[in-house]
Structure 1
Amino acid sequence: MLTPADLSTLLAATAQGDRIAFERLYVATRAKLYGVVIRILKRQDLADEVMQETYIKIWGNAGSFDPSKASPITWMVTIARNRAIDLVRKRSEASIEEEPEAMDVAADIPNPLAARELSEDLRRLMGCIGTLDTDRKQMVLLAYYNGLSREQLAAKFRKPVNTIKTWLRRSLIEIRECLGS
């Protein structure tokens, strides 16, 4: 896993047109950005489209990234989230008759068939997350599923950013140990 400093270095190299740095940046961040985008759009085809637009924007604007204003992942998540929200707003102008698939919105709780189709790894992961206390479980899900930054979590939980970092780190260690057993 790359550190924020590593990501900043990759963004700086990307700003200089370094395709290998951009590829490493993509590999390191695609899962997180995709998680944010799919959560908003709930459709793979739209999420794929937004992901492509997001990375095109990252490629073109890497030089404008300022590490004194935000962490690299926060900057990239913001681009992805804004793109996804823009698409939702644009698509909401269409009528339901023009887009019947809008009725096929994914439920928050999977139906029995969908639950059975969850991979064993995902079930194990969710079981391990379920062992965390309520606040830490919510924090992990908000950070890694919804893409909230540490600063946003600190505001939500009314705790210092360093406390949030520690809680997230300890939670991830507990999850990793649970998965290892």
Structure 2
Amino acid sequence: MTPEGISELISRVSLRDRAAFDVLYASTSAKLFGVCLRILGNRTEAEDALQDIYVKIWNKADRFAVANTSPISWLVAIARNHCIDVLRARKPAAAELDQAVDVAEPSPNPEQSAMAAGEARRLHDCLGQLEPVRADAVRGAYLNGDSYEALASRYNVPLNTMRTWLRRSLLKLKECLEG
């Protein structure tokens, strides 16, 4: 079909002529399907896109200006733009960035490692200011996970005494770390 014939069909489609639409579809669908298939790379998606494209052509036929552009170029532009929209909808970029957070390296970065090492030195220095037996009890309870009962029997003191040692030792550590 000639470009003038396609232009005439588009003009008739703008007037809601169903017969002209059928002829336009029969004349141009193979070319537009090829455009869709080339862009989308998936036959099923290209078929779905082609249906949507012809709905757009039906709704936008009145916007076609005969003098300004070739009718095939106009139809291909509608197909191309629609397929690009389908591709964009297929790959949401924001979702990929959000998922990247879940893939992040779980180990601390160099700054966090340096800060943790400094805090560990400060804590070690503050533990050194406690009586050795009480410092060992704090290490056992809070670093090794020993129970209060196990610590009380290890140091041969009543359970409430062990709790008091640990509470007072933590208060001294807090003062040291804040100072």
In 2, Cα distance between equivalents of 1:80 and 1:35: 10
Query: Given residue 13 of structure 1, which amino acid in structure 2 is its aligned partner?
Result: R
Q: Shift in Å at residue 61 of structure 1?
A: 0.8
Greater Rg by CA:
2
CA shift at 1:29, angstroms? 0.2
Indicate the residue corresponding to 2:66 in structure 1.
67
Q: Tell me the matched-pair count.
A: 95
SS at match of 2:68: coil
> Which segments of 5 or more consecutive residues in structure 2 lack a partner in the other structure?
97-179
- Cα deviation for residue 67 of structure 1 reads 1.6
Tell me the equivalent position of 1:23: 22
Distance in 2, Cα, partners of 1:89 & 1:60: 23
Deviations 1:79-113 (A, max 9, x none): 000000111011011779xxxxxxxxxxxxxxxxx
In the TM superposition, residue 53 of structure 1 has moved relative to its aligned partner by 0.7
Q: Deviations over 1:100-157 (max 9, x none)?
A: xxxxxxxxxxxxxxxxxxxxxxxxxxxxxxxxxxxxxxxxxxxxxxxxxxxxxxxxxx
SS in 2 for 1:55: helix
Give the corresponding residue for 1:79.
78
Q: Which residue pairs with 1:53 in the alignment? A: 52
**Matching of residue 42 in structure 1 with residue 2 in structure 2:** no
- Matching of residues 101-180 of structure 1 within 5 Å: none
Partner of 2:146: none
The separation in 2 between residues aligned to 1:69 and 1:91, in whole angstroms, is 33
Counting helix residues as a fraction of each chain, which structure ranks higher? 2
Give the residue type in structure 1 aligned to 2:58.
W
Structure 1 runs of 4+ aligned residues shifted over 4 Å read none
Cα shift at 1:46: 0.8
| Amino acid aligned to 2:77 | T
TM-score relative to the length of structure 1:
0.50
CA RMSD of aligned residues (A): 1.4
For residues 54 and 77 of structure 1, the distance between their equivalents in structure 2, rounded to whole angstroms, comes to 10
TM-score (normalizing by structure 2)? 0.51
How far, CA to CA, are the matches of 2:74 and 2:40 in structure 1?
A: 19
Partner of 1:101: none
